Amino acid sequence: MHQQKIEAAQEGDAALAAAYPLRGARLSHGLAHHPLLQLAALADAALAMQDAHVECRTSATAGFTDSGADKRTLMRQILDGSVDGWLMLRFADQVGAYRDLLADTLASYAHIIEPVTGPMRDPKAFIFLSSDQTVTPLHIDPTYNILFQIAGRKIFSTYPLAPPVVTPAMEEGFHSRGDNLLPWHADIAALGSDERLEPGDALFVPHKLPHRVAVVGGLSISISMTWKSDWSMAEGAAHRANARLRQWGWNPPPVARWPKTSRFRAMAARILER
């Protein structure tokens, strides 16, 4: 069994090394039975976190619940399975034990990641508890991400970071206004690539790769460990610069894709933001 775990880790390292940073990669992990990722520990973590960073909703609500007693009640109902819903612990690393888990886990991939994109900047942990049939709409995130499936099953669908899924205007809107949700219709659905994730599976999701997630077969628990790079932060700043230049009547050229950098626009955006 120990030898099998070593071989699986080596296969995962090889897959990530071959894919990083532009392509997704399936990995495996040993976190499914980690005590910090069981329901009782997650309930304790949610109570210890800043209220604003615990987000929950029922399948019948369009938005998040307000803070306060109602939110705490809903959180417990989702955790014990009496209500179908969705719960996210945003920045779970604000709790010391989860910060250590994040640091230790990402450190195990640093020998692959850092020679390519440099130091792993601003690492964060997001924990998701989702009832059966919960769907997270198509969206993009400004981070690199490894999602670890802890319990239950998910269909994780990814889409090209290109028109018609994402246009340059959408990218500028995302970086300048935070509009991360993307339009959804049949033509886009046909462009997706699906990965079925079960406990013990993990998936590397490249920076800003569009994705949509559906839970299938009972309560799902997963943890996303994310980071940024100097390049990804400069790319975001260059998009913000383009949005500002467009407001001033200019028609700037597209932002460079990896491995090139729109260095001067990124510098200009940071100066303006100061």
Q: Verify cis geometry, omega within 30 degrees of 0, for the bond prior to 199.
A: no
What does the block give as tokens for 220?
């799902």
Phi, psi of 72 (to 5 degrees): -65, -40
pLDDT value, residue 78:
82
pLDDT given at position 62:
47
Residues 34 and 163 both lie in one domain = yes
The per-residue pLDDT for range 31-70, each reduced to its tens digit, is 999 999 999 999 999 989 998 899 888 865 545 555 555 7
Q: Indicate if 120 and 170 belong to the same structural domain.
A: yes
Q: Are 180 and 11 in contact (CB under 8 A)?
A: no
Indicate if 167 and 209 belong to the same structural domain: yes
> Within this chain, do residues 14 and 59 fall inside the same structural domain, yes or no?
yes
Assess whether 64 and 103 both reside in one domain.
yes
Q: Are residues 216 and 240 in the same domain?
A: no
Domain count, the chain: 2
200/263 same-domain check: no
Q: Mind spelling out the 3-state secondary structure of the chain?
A: CHHHHHHHHHHHHHHHHHHCCCCCEEEECCCCCCHHHCHHHHHHHHHHCCHHHEEEEECCCCCCCCCCHHHHHHHHHHHHCCCCEEEEEECHHHCHHHHHHHHHHHHCCHHHHHHHHCCCEEEEEEEEEECCCCEEEEECCCCEEEEEEEECCEEEEECCCCCCCCCHHHHHHHHHHCCCECCCCHHHHCCCEEEEECCCEEEEECCCCCEEEEECCCCEEEEEEEEECHHHHHHHHHHHHHHHHHHCCCCCCCCCCCCCCCHHHHHHHHHHHC
Note down the domain range covering 164: 2-228
Is residue 93 within 8 A of residue 126, CB to CB? The reply is no
pLDDT per residue over 243-254, tens digit each?
999 999 999 999
Which CATH number does the domain housing residue 159 bear?
A: 2.60.120.650
- Same domain membership, residue 141 and residue 59: yes
Whether 259 and 210 map to the same domain: the answer is: no
In angstroms, the CA 52 to CA 130 distance is 19
- Which residues, given as ranges, of the chain have pLDDT below 70? 1-9, 59-69
Same domain (yes/no): 162, 92: yes
Query: Same domain for 246 and 216?
Result: no
Distance separating alpha carbons of residues 36 and 235, to the nearest angstrom: 34
Same domain (yes/no): 243, 224: no
